[in-house]
Chains A and B, each alone.
Chain A
């Protein structure tokens, strides 16, 4: 049975080994340590890998192991983390990659020294927003009043209702966009770099409210408490109006490599 080489991350400090049971070791090249393990080709080879990735138990297990190994390496120094199932045919092909990209990886590692990634996900309770506008917005109230007039024909009422719904959606969009800009500008001030990622749909997050911001921030290690403080300032200011804040970290700098 053939093995493939699974790459977790690259670091520039030889980490203390602490991965019992995972068969993790390092391949070193010009001051870089690639943290790897051997994995069976019949589990990670092209065909079976596709099958395994749709097996939630397998995926959970491998994703957690991937993250855990990288977090342990992070305890000893900064890392360039790789994606789940980054695989090489042989140790030599990995060495060839290290050789080819050594300078770039070293620059990346130097740049990440004493920094860490924090993740922010902000959600919004749309129903709550809607109710607010329905009760308070003058134009919406005026349209609702007109719609409720019994003298209106069905066709006219339908068109007015459509107009009202469009207006309501526009108002909500505008309000959320303004809030997102404000969240970003506050958090940018407390971080070095920002990456805004795509929003995850409700069937992925398992939440009923809508994700309105999914972002990663690169923060200096000794300034993380100022970053958290800023989130809490925003949270206190906004949570009463239907926003829900989620913050996780510190993460390997997946978004900044």
Chain B
């Protein structure tokens, strides 16, 4: 049997991109300028996750984070 879920915060870049790139108000592959009358440039990057090559090579340096072993 393996160990319990470890609680390190050396998170792969894919975990970050899964959050910061892919959500709701995006239009795939496009940049929307001036949404609702505001000069907002919002990026639609749904296509990106699957198009970035060799994602597994990319690792972020560890992020300072609070995870601890639960007691």
**Range of interface residues on A (Cβ < 8 Å):** 35 or more
User: Which A residues are CB-close (under 8 A) to B26?
Assistant: 83
B41 touches A87 (CB 8 A): yes
CA distance A249 to B9 in the complex (A): 7
Q: How many residue pairs between the two chains, A and B, have CB atoms under 8 Å in the bound complex?
A: 145
CA distance A100 to B45 in the complex (A): 25
| A13 at interface, CB cutoff 8 A | no
Q: Within 8 Å of chain B (Cβ to Cβ): is A181? A: no
Which residues of B lie under 8 Å from residue A100 when comparing CB positions? Answer: 36, 38
Known contacts A214-B18, A240-B1, A245-B5; A71 and B41 CB within 8 A of each other: no
Known: A66-B20, A248-B9. A84 touches B66 (CB 8 A): no
Give Cα A225–Cα B67 distance, bound, in whole angstroms.
10
Instruction: Identify which of B19, B45, B53, B56 contacts A251 (C-beta below 8 A).
Output: B19
- Which residues of chain A have C-beta atoms less than 8 A from B66's C-beta? 250
**Taking CB as reference atom, which chain B residue is nearest A55?**
B52
Interface residues of B in 13-53 (CB under 8 A from A): 13-23, 26, 31, 33, 36-43, 45, 48-53
Q: Is the CB of B4 within 8 A of A83?
A: no
Alpha-carbon gap, A155 to B15, bound state (A): 48
Minimal Cβ-Cβ distance residue in A for B25: A83
Once the chains bind, are A54 and B52 in contact (CB under 8 Å)?
A: yes
Complex CA–CA separation, A248 to B39 (angstroms):
34
Residues of B within 8 A of A205 (CB): 14, 55-56
Hey, which chain B residues are within 8 Å of A93, CB to CB?
Answer: 38-40
Task: Decide if A90 is an interface residue (CB 8 Å cutoff).
Answer: yes
A102-110, A123-131, A157-165, A229-237: which lies at the B interface?
A: A229-237
Q: Which secondary structure characterizes the binding site on chain A? A: helix
A206 an interface residue at 8 Å Cβ cutoff?
yes
Looking at A27-35, A56-64, A132-140, A166-174, the stretch in contact with chain B turns out to be A56-64
Q: What B residues does A214 contact at CB under 8 A?
A: 18
> Is the pair B45, A228 in contact by a Cβ cutoff of 8 Å?
no
Closest B residue by C-beta to A87? B41
Nearest-Cβ distance from residue B12 to partner chain A, whole angstroms: 8
Q: What are the interface flags for A21-61 relative to B under an 8 Å C-beta threshold, 1 for contact and 0 otherwise?
A: 00000000000000000000000001001100110100110
Contact of B15 among A46, A60, A96, A119 (CB under 8 A): A119
Q: Do the beta carbons of A83 and B20 come within 8 Å of each other?
A: yes
B45 touches A84 (CB 8 A): yes
Q: Restricting to B50-71, which residues have a CB under 8 Å from any CB of A?
A: 50-58, 60-61, 63-67, 70-71
Of B1, B36, B38, B49, the residue contacting A200 (CB under 8 A) is B49
For A184-211 the 0/1 string (1 means CB < 8 A from B) is 0000000000000110110111100000
Identify 8 residue pairs between A and B in the complex whose beta-carbon atoms are under 8 Å apart, listed by A's number: A59-B52, A60-B58, A83-B42, A198-B22, A204-B52, A206-B56, A224-B70, A252-B19
Q: Mark A residues whose CB is within 8 Å of B.
A: 4, 46, 49-50, 53-54, 56, 59-60, 63-64, 66-68, 71, 81, 83-90, 93, 96-97, 100, 119, 197-198, 200-201, 203-206, 214, 224-225, 228-229, 231-232, 235-236, 239-240, 245, 247-252, 254-255
